[in-house]
A and B are shown apart, each in its own frame.
Chain A
C-alpha cells in the first residue's frame, strides 16, 4: 500500500478525491436531506410550493412555532408504538440470520467439498429457484398458511425468509469455503475425525469472516423485506417496513408520511453502529471468501 501511495501522482490523487467526493454526495445527500427534513412538518418536507421551504421551515414555524419539530418521531414511536414493530424486526432478523447461516454453512461446505457433478446442478437449481418473483411465492403460500393456522406468526415469516434467502447464501458461502484449503479438514479426518467433527473443530474457527459478510446480506434482506412480511404477518406481529407502509396512507385516506420519514431515519442509527463494528470483518470476509467466485 505504502509503495503505491508514494508513487501516486498529484493528478491521480485529485481524480481519486473527486470520484470519492462525488460518490459520497450522491450516496449520502438524500439521506442527510431526509435527516434534516425529518424535523419539519410534511408541508415543508414534501413542499410542492418551493423546495427551499424544506431548508427554512416556513410552515413548520407557523404550525409549531419553531423551525424544528420532533412531531414525526413522537408520532411514530409514542403514538403509533413503532417500538413493537422494531422488536419484531429484531426477532425476525436475528433468527433469519442465524438459521440462514447455519443451514448455509452446512450446505455451502458440503457443496464446496463434494466433487460429484450433482453439486453443480444443485447450485444451478438453487439459482433458478431464486428467479421466482417473491410476490407469486407469497400468493401461493397464503391459502396453505391459513389452512394450517400458520398465518400471521413470526416463525412462519422467519421460515419463509430463510428459504427465499437460501440460494444466495449457498452460492456465497460455497465460494467462500472453496477458498479454505482442503488440506485443513482432510488432515483432521486422517487424524480420526469424522466429516462433521472436522467441520466443527477445524472449519468453524476459520470461517467467521465469510459468514459475517453473508450474514450482512441476509440481514439486509430480512430487514428490508416488504413482499413477504406485509402479507403473512398479522397486525400485532408486524415488522417495521410494513408498519412504515401503513403510515403512507391510501387513496381515500391521508396517511402520515412524516411518521414514516422519522421512523426510517431513526432505524438507520443502529445500522451505523452495526457497520462500524463489522466493517473490518465484512472486508476480510469477502477477502477470504468470494474472491474466487
Chain B
C-alpha cells in the first residue's frame, strides 16, 4: 500500500502540468483536512496538482482529523477550506454549521460530476462522494467445503455453519468480527438492528427507541455469534480480526470492503489461507430482506467560513481530485471508487453486492453519533453476561438521553 502511494505521488506530479490547465483556477487558497489512507492521499495529491501561480493547495491528512476539523473550520476565515468526510462525520460538521451548500458552484462548474455522487440534505447539496465502503461476508472456501456447508446468506446460516465447523473439529472459534467495545461494537449493533428492521428513534424526534423486541433480538444474535468467536472478541478491532483470519483461525466473518484486498494478497498469511479467502455479499437476519450492514461513503465538502473565491478554488481543486484521471493501475485497487472508468476487482464484489442488495446507508441524523457512543459503552455488559438485554438497552438509552439533553436535542 505505502509503496504504491509513493509511485502515485510521482505519477501525479508528472500529470500536474496538464492538470493545471484543466483545473481553471486563477487564484485562491485550498486547504484540505481528511483521514489518512492511500485513497484519500490519491485525491489530495490530484487536488494539489492544481497548485500554481497564485494558487496554494495544502493538505493535512491524519487519523485524528475528527478531533480537529470542527475547530479548524469554525474560525473565520477557516483554516481548512475542505474536509474529506464520511456519512457519519458530515453530520458533525453540519451540526456546527461549518460547511456550505454547493448548489451554485455545481451550477457553474458541476459538469462531469455524476448526479448520483451528490449528497443532498433538504434539497441542498452538501458533499460530493467519491468512494464507497460496507461490511460484508469474507469466508474460507476450503473450510466450508471440508465442512460440507453452503456459503451462508443469513446470520442464522452462519451460526449453523459455525456449529458444523466446530463440531467437526476443523476450527475451535470459526467466526470472527470486529466487536471491540466502543465504536466497533456499536457499529455491529447498528448493522444487526437495521437487519432486524429496527428504527433507532421515534419518528421525527430525537427520542431513542431501541429498547424493543428488535433491539433484544439484535443483542441475542450478537451474543450467539460471539459464542463462536475467540474469547477475547471484545478487544478485537478490524486489525485483530483480520490477523485471526490470516492466521487461519477463522472461517467466516463480517469485514469492511476496504480491508479485503489485504486479506487476499500474499502478505501475512500462508498460501493455504490467502488463496482460499473469498468475498461474499452482506448477510440478512431474522428472515428480513434488508441486509444487516450499512453503506458508507467518503466525500468532500467546502467550508462555509472562507471567501467565495477560495470556495470556488477549493471546489475546482477537489473536482480535479476526483476526476477520472486519478484512476491508474496503482490507484484502482485502493478503494471502491465512485468515479467513471473504475473497473472493480474481485475484492470489491462485497461492496457492490451490498449496494445491489439494497443495504441502507449509515443513518445521517444529527444525534446518531451520540446514540452510537452510548451503545458502544453499554452493550458489552450484556455480552459479558453481567446484565440482561433489556437492562443493557435501557442503560444505553439513559446514557444517550443524558448526552442528548446536554447537546440540546431533547
Contacts and interface: CB of A to CB of B under 8 A. Distances in A.
Interface of A: 41-43, 46-49, 59, 62-63, 75, 79-80, 139, 142-143, 146-147, 149, 151-152, 230-231, 234-235, 238, 242, 245-246, 248-257, 259
A252 B71 CA distance: 24
Nearest to A146: B75
Contacts of B78: 146
B1 A251 contact: no
B397 interface: no
B197 to A, nearest CB: 26
A252 B238 contact: yes
A42 B246 CA distance: 11
25 contacts: A41-B267, A41-B268, A43-B267, A47-B247, A48-B243, A48-B249, A49-B247, A59-B269, A75-B2, A139-B67, A152-B60, A230-B64, A231-B64, A231-B68, A235-B60, A249-B239, A250-B35, A251-B238, A252-B133, A253-B35, A253-B259, A254-B1, A254-B262, A256-B1, A256-B2
B266 interface: yes
Contacts of A59: 268-270
A65 B262 CA distance: 20
Name the prevailing secondary structure of the B interface residues: mixed
A149 to B, nearest CB: 8
Contacts of B256: 251-252
Interface residues of B, number: 47
A266 B184 CA distance: 33
A149 B75 CA distance: 10
Contacts of B271: 62
Interface in B122-145: 133
Given A49-B248, A75-B2, A231-B68, A253 B268 contact: no
Given A48-B249, A143-B74, A79 B64 contact: no
Contacts of A250: 35-37, 63
A143 B71 contact: yes
B237 interface: yes
B347 to A, nearest CB: 13
Given A231-B64, A245-B63, A251 B237 contact: yes
Contacts of A245: 63
